[in-house]
């Protein structure tokens, strides 16, 4: 049995960062979804310093992902994450459990929570068209598959991922990678009463086994909501 994660996080921060303004423990140990391979996601807010870094370590039998930041560096990474539509930094701070007493870091935490609540910026027309074009091109590859195997599986996964990302982006919803892409899609479904997460999961399993029709239908549904497939006539100016 590993020791209590909250107690371990408290001790790590006290031992390594006595100067910390605040620290937060986030991730599965806070949300109640902990598994045998879960780690401790700890973000430490420091006074002004040049020692901003990310570090992986083991502390009291727990793997730890440690993020040491200042107010300025947190704002920098929150802004950078918003551009790529994946709010990693904001989520670590806004949804984490404070580890130190007092009110330190409350303003930074509130800023991160506001970013999460606001969601990403709406797609520009050009960005939406690019996503439609790329998914249309992938659909052509998907519908042209004549056998299963590594190449087919790679195409299937890309159609699945691109469809999920189009759905999220077009709804001004945060995105992610891996499990976070699925979690965001499920959250979108709960909020809007849609069923994209379930449909895409079912379609992915069928497509890997050779039946790509369900996956093509879900992708087409996502495209139809924004004008349908886009290929012939698409033009994108070069960005030099």
Q: What is the pLDDT of residues 2-17, one digit of tens each?
A: 899 999 999 999 999 9
- Residue 230 covered by a domain: no
Clarify whether residues 76 and 167 are in a common domain: no
Range of the domain at 154: 125-224
Full-model pTM:
0.91
Number of domains comprising the chain: 2
Q: Tell me the C-alpha distance between 183 and 87, whole Å.
A: 13
Contact between 23 and 108 under an 8 Å Cβ cutoff? The reply is no
Written as six digits, the tokens of 36 are 């045998």
Q: What is the pLDDT of residues 185-204, one digit of tens each?
A: 999 999 999 999 999 999 99
Let me know whether 145 and 216 are in one domain.
yes
Span 199-221, average pLDDT: 97
Residue 107, domain CATH: 3.30.460.10
Q: Show the tokens assigned to 197.
A: 């997460």
Establish if 180 belongs to a structural domain.
yes
Alpha helix (H) residue ranges in the chain = 5-16, 28-31, 71-83, 88-94, 106-118, 125-143, 150-170, 179-192, 196-208, 213-224
**Residue 103 shares a structural domain with residue 154:** no
Task: Render pLDDT for 118-169 as a digit per residue (tens, 0 to 9).
Answer: 999 999 999 999 999 999 999 999 999 988 899 999 999 999 999 999 999 9
Residues 6+ apart with CB under 8 A from 112: 74, 78, 89, 90, 91, 93, 94
Model confidence at 70, pLDDT cuts 50, 70, 90, reads very high
In a domain, 42, yes or no: yes
Do residue 136 and residue 192 come from a single domain? Answer: yes
Residues 58 and 155 in one domain: no
Instruction: Say if 232 falls within a structural domain.
Output: no
Residue 231 is assigned to a structural domain of this protein: no
CA distance 78 to 15: 27
Instruction: Kindly state whether residues 76 and 152 are assigned to the same domain.
Output: no
Query: What distance in Å separates the CA atoms of residue 217 and residue 160, rounded to the nearest whole number?
Result: 11
Give the pLDDT of residue 173. 98
Task: Kindly state whether residue 92 falls inside one of the protein's structural domains.
Answer: yes
């Amino acid at each position: 049995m590993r020791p209590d994660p909250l107690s371990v996080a408290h001790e790590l921060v006290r031992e390594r960062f006595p100067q910390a303004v605040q620290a937060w423990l986030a991730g599965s140990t806070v949300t109640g979804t902990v598994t045998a391979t879960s780690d401790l996601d700890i973000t430490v807010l420091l006074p002004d310093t040049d020692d901003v870094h990310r570090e992986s370590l083991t502390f009291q039998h727990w793997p730890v992902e440690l993020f040491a930041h200042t107010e300025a560096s947190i704002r920098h990474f929150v802004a950078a994450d918003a551009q790529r539509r994946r709010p990693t930094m904001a989520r670590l701070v806004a949804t984490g459990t404070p580890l130190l007493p007092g009110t330190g870091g409350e303003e930074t935490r509130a800023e991160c929570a506001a970013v999460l609540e606001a969601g990403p910026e709406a797609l520009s027309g050009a960005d939406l068209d690019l996503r439609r074009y790329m998914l249309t091109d992938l659909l052509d590859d998907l519908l042209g598959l004549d056998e299963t195997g590594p190449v087919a599986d790679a195409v299937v996964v890309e159609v699945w991922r691109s469809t999920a990302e189009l759905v999220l982006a077009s709804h001004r919803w945060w995105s992610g990678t891996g499990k976070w892409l699925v979690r965001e899609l499920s959250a979108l479904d709960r909020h809007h009463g849609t069923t994209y997460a379930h449909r895409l999961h079912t379609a992915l399993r069928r497509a890997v086994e050779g039946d790509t029709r369900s996956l093509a239908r879900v992708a087409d549904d996502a495209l139809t909501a924004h004008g349908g497939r886009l290929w012939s006539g698409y033009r994108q100016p070069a960005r030099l």
